[in-house]
Chain A
Amino acid sequence: MVTVLVLTLLPVPAVADTKNALRLRNGAKEKLCLECHEGFKEKLKKSHVHTPLAKGECTGCHNPHTSSHDLLMNAETKDICYQCHDHMVSEGAASAHQVVVDGQCTACHDPHAADNRMNLIRSGSDLCYGCHKELGHKISDSKFQHSPVKKDCLKCHNPHASSDHANLLVKGVPGLCKTCHQTNKTTFKKIHMNYPVDKADCTSCHDPHGSNIAAMLYDNVHQPVSKGMCKQCHNAPESAEPLKLKQEGYKSCQGCHYEMVTDTLNLKRIHWPVIDSKGCLNCHTPHASAAGGLLLKPQKTLCAGCHVDTIARQERSSAKHPPVDEGDCTACHDPHGSDNQFIMNQSSVMDVCGTCHDWQSHSSHPIGNKVVDPRNKNITLQCLSCHRSHGTEYKHFLYYATTNELCIQCHTGYRR
């Protein structure tokens, strides 16, 4: 409300210069600018011309004399566009396109004229792939492709915002999918083992952008799904609650992954989410995933979901530790649990670091399980005595700004 009030009070000139505030001579309004900006004569021939330009109202957006903004704009791009095109993102929208939120309207639209509808600078999905390059490659390279995706992203997505749905979807899932896919057909039911998946989230198994697995299942499919063994985990399809799991939490998975789950439960330090009500599903999807190990998301994003402080530390760090930076958290940690500190996958910190770093040639400084830390008789000198593995603001992940400052922590006799 306050924002609206402030915006209302801002001295942004009206787009339509109806009152001729510049007191242009008669007939000059449409032609005066074009006398110098000849290139625009060609632009005006394009099939889609922005209305103010078509009316010759260049001053709706530009100040002919001076401006505090680039291109003699009257105000920030976003503010100018929103003068006429308000409500691009409704209040409380479930999702919004970042470029829209940032007011980068010209990333997609030509404010003067274009050959494409809505003054889009490129047509169809090509425009989207300008930014979403990786997705574009995936869509074109997939063995099993989704035809609407090939045609136009806007079949499923709203380019500005979605008031009710995530991922800018024009409709929720499965409603959106059901606009094309008929779920009452016998073949559909048979393929889905007679489970009422018409009410479920199709994207928990299918990759709507295409995949290399038949039926556009995500590239990594859980074996019971690919074998149609839904009953392994779910109630029978004819039961009152067919989609309900037979067991709660990790117990759902323990039947098949008995050894792994049992071993995990016996560890001294368990990763607590493994044994909460959601259990394995905190990190894994039970059906299919684009990420390896049936992870819900790529590892770095997944771990950062809870350990945002750790990932943020790395982002701030002047030096980057490749396993953290590349999202390979399991290079050092066991995500299920461990008998070791920090649920590390080896008991000795030196051994963990030694997997990549040849610490024996690192320096002549005595370190190891037999070298007592002079500051504390209960701990020994190891890699983490000097380096913070997730990063610091100093070089080499050191805890202190200078090497001298680090050394005098133990070598107190050299303190000045």
Chain B
Amino acid sequence: MNCASNAIQDIGGKTMKKRFLLFIGLLLLVVPGRPSIAHGAKIRYLASVYSDRQGAGLKYPEGVACTEKLLFVADTGNSRVVRYTYEGRAITGQAEYLLPNSSPIKLAVDSHGYLYVLDGRERRIAVIGMEGKIEGYFSPKGVPGSRQVVPRSFAIDHNDMIYLLDIFTRSVLVLDRTGRYQRQLPFPKGIGFFSDIAVDRQGTVYLLDSVAAAVYAAPANSDDISLLSSNLREYMNFPTNMIIDRHGIIYLVDQHGSGLALLNKDGSFLGRKLSMGWNESQLYYPAQICISKQGYMFIADRNNSRVQMFSLEEK
């Protein structure tokens, strides 16, 4: 940029520079919105996390959650959650939260900093405070007609509403942070199997059908879940996890295909990223993905027993 500025000054002085800046300004006005990350996305490998601060190795981690400074890892094989801080590509182990006899498989952090941990063994969600203590277990209250809830996954929106993917009542239960029932979105007919749920900033609820490799969506405040994107089978094997970035791009973790598949917000397929392997920047049966506000992406690289950090760079 400096070189460019100098060159302009050399040619025509301040007037030329003003014209150049005006041109750039007009160009930004003409281009509709920000360029979509997926069209020019560059996923750049930054670092890998193999162990906690004591040097104890991760074992089959399935969950990751991230804030602007913190990274939480569900170290599933060791029945614990490990907390890290990160700055740039430097990731430092901080603390471990032991969860004996549990199988933590999915994590999310709410706006108050509480960590929600889905235990695949007990099929319940533990709520962990900032001090690392279990504050309790998230329990739905007042769900009409339901005697049992089996959460396969969950998501938290920016208002701290919790969306429970309940495979027993075949519905999405929307609950406030105390667990109080708000509304219910019944699964549509003819689905394969919903494995994951995500909510974007606009409140649109997304559901991932692993069997059909399809994404369903329900607009904010609507109870009608309908097919957003079908026929993705030719692009992926068995997606199991999903996240939406700030541009609305849908990132699917293709676990059996050991890679990522990206969809536009209208459900159209944009492309695949990363591939199977054991070397850094490659994946082997990945599980959960998270994207921080700064554009850092963390992937629980389950069968490589590590977490990998990438940056999402717009070209």
Question: Interface on A for B, CB 8 Å cutoff?
Answer: 248-249, 266-270, 272-273, 275-277, 305-310, 341, 373, 375-379, 385, 399, 409
Contact (A268, B121) CB under 8 Å given A375-B279, A377-B57:
yes
Nearest 5 A-B pairs (CB), nearest first?
A: A378-B305, A309-B237, A276-B167, A268-B103, A375-B278
The answer to whether A378 touches B58, judged by C-beta atoms less than 8 angstroms apart, is yes
- Assuming A276-B168, A309-B233, what are 18 further A-B pairs, CB within 8 angstroms? A266-B121, A269-B103, A272-B167, A275-B123, A276-B170, A277-B170, A305-B211, A306-B193, A308-B211, A308-B233, A309-B256, A309-B257, A373-B278, A377-B50, A377-B57, A378-B51, A378-B304, A379-B304
Please give me the residue from chain B that is nearest to A375 by CB atom.
B278
Residue B303 is within 8 A (CB to CB) of chain A in the complex = yes
**How far is it, in angstroms, between the C-alpha of A50 and the C-alpha of B12 when the chains are bound?**
91
**How far is it, in angstroms, between the C-alpha of A382 and the C-alpha of B85 when the chains are bound?**
33
* Residue with the highest number of chain B CB atoms closer than 10 Å, among A248, A267, A376: A376
Please give me the residue from chain A that is nearest to B49 by CB atom.
A378
The answer to whether A277 touches B193, judged by C-beta atoms less than 8 angstroms apart, is no
Question: Interface on B for A, CB 8 Å cutoff?
Answer: 50-51, 57-60, 103, 120-121, 123, 147-148, 150, 152, 167-170, 192-193, 195, 210-211, 233, 237-238, 256-257, 276, 278-279, 303-306
Q: List 19 A-B contacts (CB under 8 A).
A: A267-B121, A269-B120, A270-B123, A272-B167, A275-B167, A275-B168, A276-B152, A276-B168, A306-B193, A306-B211, A308-B211, A309-B233, A309-B256, A341-B60, A376-B306, A377-B50, A377-B57, A378-B304, A379-B304
* B272 → A minimal CB distance (Å): 14
* A312 → B minimal CB distance (Å): 9
The answer to whether A378 touches B169, judged by C-beta atoms less than 8 angstroms apart, is no
The answer to whether A378 touches B170, judged by C-beta atoms less than 8 angstroms apart, is no
**How far is it, in angstroms, between the C-alpha of A80 and the C-alpha of B294 when the chains are bound?**
65
Residues of B within 8 A of A378 (CB): 50-51, 57-59, 304-306
The answer to whether A249 touches B168, judged by C-beta atoms less than 8 angstroms apart, is yes
**How far is it, in angstroms, between the C-alpha of A160 and the C-alpha of B237 when the chains are bound?**
35
The answer to whether A270 touches B304, judged by C-beta atoms less than 8 angstroms apart, is no
**How far is it, in angstroms, between the C-alpha of A373 and the C-alpha of B279 when the chains are bound?**
10
Please give me the residue from chain B that is nearest to A309 by CB atom.
B237
Please give me the residue from chain A that is nearest to B278 by CB atom.
A375
Please give me the residue from chain A that is nearest to B210 by CB atom.
A306
* B171 → A minimal CB distance (Å): 10
**How far is it, in angstroms, between the C-alpha of A41 and the C-alpha of B147 when the chains are bound?**
77
**How far is it, in angstroms, between the C-alpha of A286 and the C-alpha of B211 when the chains are bound?**
24
Residues of B within 8 A of A409 (CB): 278-279
The answer to whether B193 touches A307, judged by C-beta atoms less than 8 angstroms apart, is no
Residues of B within 8 A of A267 (CB): 121
Please give me the residue from chain A that is nearest to B167 by CB atom.
A276
Please give me the residue from chain A that is nearest to B168 by CB atom.
A277
Residues of A within 8 A of B211 (CB): 305-306, 308
Residues of A within 8 A of B305 (CB): 376, 378-379
**How far is it, in angstroms, between the C-alpha of A276 and the C-alpha of B167 when the chains are bound?**
5
Please give me the residue from chain B that is nearest to A249 by CB atom.
B168
* B96 → A minimal CB distance (Å): 16
* A274 → B minimal CB distance (Å): 10
* B120 → A minimal CB distance (Å): 7
Residues of B within 8 A of A268 (CB): 103, 120-121
* B8 → A minimal CB distance (Å): 46
Residues of A within 8 A of B276 (CB): 399
The answer to whether B233 touches A310, judged by C-beta atoms less than 8 angstroms apart, is no
**How far is it, in angstroms, between the C-alpha of A183 and the C-alpha of B276 when the chains are bound?**
59
* B233 → A minimal CB distance (Å): 7
Residues of B within 8 A of A249 (CB): 148, 168
Residues of B within 8 A of A373 (CB): 278
Residues of A within 8 A of B58 (CB): 378
* A352 → B minimal CB distance (Å): 15
Residues of A within 8 A of B152 (CB): 272, 276
* Residue with the highest number of chain B CB atoms closer than 10 Å, among A378, A379, A399: A378
Residues of A within 8 A of B51 (CB): 378
* B81 → A minimal CB distance (Å): 15
Residues of A within 8 A of B60 (CB): 341
**How far is it, in angstroms, between the C-alpha of A387 and the C-alpha of B168 when the chains are bound?**
37
The answer to whether B169 touches A277, judged by C-beta atoms less than 8 angstroms apart, is yes
**How far is it, in angstroms, between the C-alpha of A309 and the C-alpha of B193 when the chains are bound?**
14
**How far is it, in angstroms, between the C-alpha of A277 and the C-alpha of B169 when the chains are bound?**
6
**How far is it, in angstroms, between the C-alpha of A308 and the C-alpha of B150 when the chains are bound?**
25
* A297 → B minimal CB distance (Å): 15
The answer to whether B168 touches A270, judged by C-beta atoms less than 8 angstroms apart, is no
**How far is it, in angstroms, between the C-alpha of A183 and the C-alpha of B269 when the chains are bound?**
54
Residues of B within 8 A of A307 (CB): 238
Residues of B within 8 A of A306 (CB): 192-193, 210-211
Please give me the residue from chain A that is nearest to B79 by CB atom.
A268
* A217 → B minimal CB distance (Å): 31
Residues of B within 8 A of A399 (CB): 276
Contact (A248, B148) CB under 8 Å given A266-B121, A341-B303, A376-B306:
yes
* A383 → B minimal CB distance (Å): 13
